[in-house]
């Protein structure tokens, strides 16, 4: 370590999850960045020295798929509660989806409105996706220039009228514009021609969104992405039947990546209780046998990351049957223990989980030089994690705005003890997060960038 005076903070752990693998290490922090990673017992002058002992030290997780819903639907979630939940769950970077806020983030003015709503309310660092909807092709370049991390579109109805899907006929023009910008398109890929009317029970809902809808949409998306040369990412892939198309595209050099979510890996259609609409999401939670190929795809790199698709709503919107209830899973605070609980049963390591939930999403959004790893030069986003500590999910103790989650009552393993954001402990009473741009470096604690 090159000393320029004492470090601000040193965090020691016998189980630090480093890029080269787990190791006993001391992480020195200066000015919000990791200044050095030394041996566990190295003498490092510091204003504060924290010894976690056997607690694991993880890089802060990156969740690139979060619906904060503010402004316009703050009663569904909001920046204050969503980012407090993120920090409590070891997530230090969130990229907010362009819906279900009102206005949706489909032009620069809407981005300014959203950033103003988030300013001084975020407990973790927050960036923003733009939206690609019919009629806003002319706005994409300006949004890209204003620092969004990419653009989201739907190939089927989104569930909110103000964010309509892109017809297949309009996708080539959008892909061509994004290829010109070298921008990323992230896609909710379900073929509307394969979707049918749902019924109030879960099996009827599941049948209304079959694996063929995802497989068909991914097939078409691969073809279009290959022709355009655009970077394309498949969101929340649930159907194992779509994995071969992703694998073939990657092998052929198509600029394609894909993610899945904790609920597709760990929940099963067979276990959804009657009327339990907390389990409703789109695409749906599928049968138990569907999950194992998803785990294998994570292990072999076909799937690039695991993110929450946190999409909450007021409890009243979850009332009714599976045909009418809002479709979205609330899990931002619980993703790490949910995935770790089930990953370790399959022989995966904590390093695997870090790769899927920190490094992978950071690479997706272009923040891998600053986020998602414990390495010199990276932001000092750190998590003290007890991988063997069990707990039972009590929805009333979650920081999400509404205590609705399909994991209620589940016994999980792995507890977040502390979260540092750029070298400072997160604190529910003092939001210290930064608003991020794709094209600007992260500043020190309290810094920010305008939307342009």
Contact 187, 230 (CB under 8 A): no
The C-alpha atoms of residue 442 and residue 125 are separated, in whole angstroms, by 9
What confidence category does residue 440 fall into, taking pLDDT thresholds of 50, 70 and 90? confident
For range 131-157, the mean pLDDT: 98
pLDDT digits (tens, 9 = 90+) for 324-370: 999 999 999 999 999 999 999 999 999 999 999 999 999 999 999 99
Residue 153's nearest CA partner among 182, 195, 179, 185 is 185
Mean pLDDT, the chain, as a whole number?
Answer: 95
Contact 25, 13 (CB under 8 A): yes
pLDDT recorded at residue 4: 66
**The pLDDT of residue 3 is above 60:** no
pLDDT digits (tens, 9 = 90+) for 287-322: 999 999 999 999 999 999 999 999 999 999 999 999
pLDDT digits (tens, 9 = 90+) for 249-288: 999 999 999 999 999 999 999 999 999 999 999 999 999 9
Q: What is the pTM of this model?
A: 0.96
Q: What is the DSSP letter of 358?
A: I
Residue 327's nearest CA partner among 143, 159, 99, 105 is 159
What confidence category does residue 5 fall into, taking pLDDT thresholds of 50, 70 and 90? confident
For range 406-413, the mean pLDDT: 97
Element of type H or E holding 116: helix 108-118
The C-alpha atoms of residue 283 and residue 398 are separated, in whole angstroms, by 25
What confidence category does residue 447 fall into, taking pLDDT thresholds of 50, 70 and 90? very low
- CA dihedral (414, 415, 416, 418) positive or negative: negative
- In a 3-state reduction of DSSP, which class is residue 234? strand
Which residues, at least 6 apart from 308, have a Cβ–Cβ distance to it below 8 Å?
63, 65, 66, 261, 262, 329, 331, 332, 335
The C-alpha atoms of residue 240 and residue 49 are separated, in whole angstroms, by 46
pLDDT recorded at residue 439: 86
The C-alpha atoms of residue 81 and residue 398 are separated, in whole angstroms, by 10
pLDDT recorded at residue 27: 98
Q: How far is CA 20 from CA 74, 104, 182, 239, 352, in A?
A: 41, 41, 31, 32, 12
For range 396-415, the mean pLDDT: 96
The C-alpha atoms of residue 44 and residue 46 are separated, in whole angstroms, by 6
**The pLDDT of residue 396 is above 60:** yes
**The pLDDT of residue 213 is above 80:** yes
pLDDT recorded at residue 443: 44
Maximum Cα–Cα distance for the chain, whole Å?
66
Contact 144, 130 (CB under 8 A): yes
**The pLDDT of residue 448 is above 50:** no
Which residues, at least 6 apart from 18, have a Cβ–Cβ distance to it below 8 Å?
25, 37, 373, 374, 375
The answer as to CATH 1.10.3720.10 being correct for domain 60-371 is no
pLDDT recorded at residue 264: 98
Which residue, chain included where needed, has tokens 């920081």? 399
pLDDT recorded at residue 190: 98
Residue 396: Cβ-neighbour burial (10 angstroms; 0-12, 13-18, 19+): exposed
Estimate the crossing angle of helix 243-251 against helix 288-300, to 10 degrees.
Answer: 10
For range 183-199, the mean pLDDT: 97
pLDDT recorded at residue 365: 98
What confidence category does residue 404 fall into, taking pLDDT thresholds of 50, 70 and 90? very high
pLDDT recorded at residue 441: 55
Which residue, chain included where needed, has tokens 């819903």? 69
pLDDT digits (tens, 9 = 90+) for 145-164: 999 999 999 999 999 999 99
The C-alpha atoms of residue 225 and residue 235 are separated, in whole angstroms, by 15
Residue 195's nearest CA partner among 282, 133, 280 is 282
What confidence category does residue 116 fall into, taking pLDDT thresholds of 50, 70 and 90? very high
Contact 384, 56 (CB under 8 A): yes
Q: How far is CA 302 from CA 154, 198, 249, 345, in A?
A: 22, 31, 10, 21
CATH 3.20.20.140 domain locations along the chain: 60-371
Residue 450 C-alpha from the chain's centroid: 23
The C-alpha atoms of residue 79 and residue 124 are separated, in whole angstroms, by 10
As a whole number of Å, the CA-based R_g of the chain is 21
């Amino acid at each position: 370590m090159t000393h320029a005076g004492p470090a601000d903070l040193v965090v020691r752990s016998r189980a630090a999850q480093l890029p080269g693998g787990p190791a006993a290490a001391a992480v020195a922090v200066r000015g919000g960045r990791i200044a050095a990673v030394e041996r566990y017992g190295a003498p490092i002058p510091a204003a504060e020295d924290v010894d976690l002992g056997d607690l694991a030290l993880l890089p802060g997780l990156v969740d690139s798929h979060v619906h904060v819903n503010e402004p316009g639907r703050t009663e569904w979630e909001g920046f204050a509660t969503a980012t407090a939940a993120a920090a409590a769950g070891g997530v230090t970077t969130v990229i907010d989806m362009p819906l279900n806020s009102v206005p949706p983030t489909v032009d620069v003015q809407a981005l300014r409105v959203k950033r103003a709503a988030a300013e001084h309310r975020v407990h973790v660092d927050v960036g923003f996706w733009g939206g690609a909807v019919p009629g806003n092709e002319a706005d994409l370049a300006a949004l890209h220039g204003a620092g969004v991390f990419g653009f989201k579109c739907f190939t089927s109805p989104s569930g909110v009228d103000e964010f309509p899907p892109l017809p297949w006929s309009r996708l080539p023009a959008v892909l061509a514009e994004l290829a010109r910008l070298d921008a990323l398109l992230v896609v909710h890929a379900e073929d509307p021609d394969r979707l049918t009317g749902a019924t109030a029970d879960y099996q009827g809902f599941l049948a209304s969104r079959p694996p063929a809808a995802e497989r068909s949409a991914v097939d078409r998306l691969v073809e279009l992405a290959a022709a355009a040369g655009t970077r394309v990412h498949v969101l929340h892939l649930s159907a194992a039947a779509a994995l071969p198309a992703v694998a073939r595209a990657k092998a052929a050099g198509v600029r394609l990546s894909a993610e899945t979510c904790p609920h597709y890996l760990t929940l099963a259609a067979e276990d959804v209780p009657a009327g339990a609409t907390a389990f409703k999401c789109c695409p749906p939670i599928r049968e138990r046998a569907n999950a194992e190929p998803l785990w294998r795809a994570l292990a072999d790199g076909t799937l690039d990351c695991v993110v929450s698709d946190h999409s909450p709503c007021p409890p009243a919107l979850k009332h009714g049957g599976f045909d009418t209830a809002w479709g979205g899973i609330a899990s931002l605070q619980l993703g790490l223990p949910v995935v770790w609980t089930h990953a370790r049963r399959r022989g995966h390591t904590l390093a695997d989980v870090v790769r899927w939930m920190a490094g992978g999403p950071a690479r997706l959004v272009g923040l891998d030089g600053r986020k998602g790893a414990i390495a010199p030069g990276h932001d000092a986003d750190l998590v003290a994690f007890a991988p063997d500590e069990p707990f039972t999910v009590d929805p009333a103790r979650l920081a999400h705005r509404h205590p609705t989650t399909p994991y209620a009552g589940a016994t999980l393993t792995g507890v977040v003890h502390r979260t540092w954001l750029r070298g400072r402990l997160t604190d529910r009473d003092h939001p210290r997060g930064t608003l991020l741009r794709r094209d600007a470096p992260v500043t020190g604690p309290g810094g920010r960038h305008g939307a342009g």
